Amino acid sequence: MALGQPRIEYKTNSQILKMREAGLVLAEALDEASAAARPGVTTKSIDAIFAKVLERHGATSNFLGYHGFPASICASVNHEVVHGFPSDYELKDGDVLKIDGGAIIDGWHSDSARTVLIGNVDPADQRLSEITEQAMWAGIAAFSKARFIGQIGEAIDDFVSSQPGAPLGILEDYCGHGIGSAMHMAPDVLNYNTGHRGPRIKPGMALAIEPMLVRGQIGTSVLEDDWTVVTDDKANASQWEHTVAIHLGGIWVLSAHDGGAAGLAPFGVTPSPITA
């Protein structure tokens, strides 16, 4: 560790297993919240559905009350990229909703996000979400093989820039992060190529990998609520995120029901669950 740099927390297998418990609760909560998202439904009601799943499993939200955040999920619509407040806004046909949430079990955290397309959406928004999700899996696959954190951003950047069709912007002001006994920890996980290696990847490291892509320019602003991030050019945005751990046996996507098997298969990577 370089002098003055934040310490990276390395988890034991038993601690990763606790994070997996939190990840499975979170996956179920996101399933139910996403299924409820349809035209006419308020984002506040989706937040309530998410919160009930956590309560049912004895988990707590790591979003609610975080620096004063007022809800259990971030609900960001269309050109709102991240950190949107759930509200009385009724979803409309064609909306692009980002649901970002987290759960804690016995002090161990998980964090995951999905883009949910409401009704009949613009094919360009469908493409935006698909490429963002695939870019996340490209980053996770890189985590399984890379020596340094910076290679995750390189893989995401390379994947996005290689896609045919209209170019998409990768947000640079917001990034992924370490996670474990707290929601946000070292190291930062950038989603683009900076040319810097960053910290060395070691077993016991857990990250939240979360690319955010936009259909337009990457400039953003924060609304008067001091939370909601929007694109300056009003172009729609997508966010996908999973909590992922590296252990001596390999990689495990803690917030995916299947441990990441389906998402990683196209990249030739097989997840390795911890069994004890």
Give per-residue pLDDT as tens, 77-136: 999 999 999 999 999 999 999 999 999 999 999 999 999 999 999 999 999 999 999 999
* CATH 2.60.40.10 applies to domain 13-267: no
> How much is the CA Rg of the chain, to the nearest whole Å?
17
Confidence of residue 71 (pLDDT cuts 50, 70, 90): very high
Tokens representing 157? 């950047």
Q: What is the pLDDT of residue 158?
A: 98
Cα atoms in the 13 Å half-sphere on the side-chain side of 71: 23
List CB contacts of 196: < 8 A, sequence separation 6 or more: 150
Q: What is the pLDDT of residue 4?
A: 53
Instruction: For residues 129 and 192, give the distance between their C-alpha atoms in angstroms, rounded to a whole number.
Output: 17
The reply, when asked if residue 83 is annotated as ligand binding, is yes
- What DSSP assignment string belongs to 4-25? TSPPPP---HHHHHHHHHHHHH
pLDDT, average across residues 266-274:
97
The reply, when asked if residue 233 is annotated as ligand binding, is no
Instruction: For residues 197 and 183, give the distance between their C-alpha atoms in angstroms, rounded to a whole number.
Output: 23
Q: What is the pLDDT of residue 1?
A: 33
For CA atoms 149, 151, 154, 156, the dihedral sign is negative
Residue pointed to by tokens 């601690």: 15
Taking each continuous run of H as one helix and of E as one strand, the counts in the chain are 5, 14
The reply, when asked if residue 47 is annotated as ligand binding, is no
Residue length of the chain: 276
φ and ψ at residue 200, rounded to 5 degrees: -75, 140
Confidence of residue 3 (pLDDT cuts 50, 70, 90): very low
Cα atoms in the 13 Å half-sphere on the side-chain side of 87: 11
Cβ(242)–Cβ(136) below 8 Å:
yes
The reply, when asked if residue 21 is annotated as ligand binding, is no
SS3 267: helix
pLDDT, average across residues 62-70:
97
Average pLDDT score over the chain = 96
Q: What is the pLDDT of residue 5?
A: 63
Q: What is the pLDDT of residue 92?
A: 98
**Per-residue exposure over 29-42, b if at least 16 CB sit within 10 Å of its own CB, e if not:** bbeebbebbeeebe
Confidence of residue 6 (pLDDT cuts 50, 70, 90): confident
The reply, when asked if residue 184 is annotated as ligand binding, is yes
Portion of the chain with pLDDT greater than 90, in percent:
97
The reply, when asked if residue 210 is annotated as ligand binding, is yes
Q: What is the pLDDT of residue 239?
A: 98
Confidence of residue 2 (pLDDT cuts 50, 70, 90): very low
* Domain boundaries, given as residue ranges, for the chain: 13-267
The reply, when asked if residue 177 is annotated as ligand binding, is yes
Helix residue spans in the chain (DSSP H): 13-36, 43-56, 123-145, 150-161, 261-264
Q: What is the pLDDT of residue 165?
A: 96
**pLDDT tens digits, residue range 160-205?**
999 999 999 999 999 999 999 999 999 999 999 999 999 999 999 9
Cβ(30)–Cβ(61) below 8 Å:
no
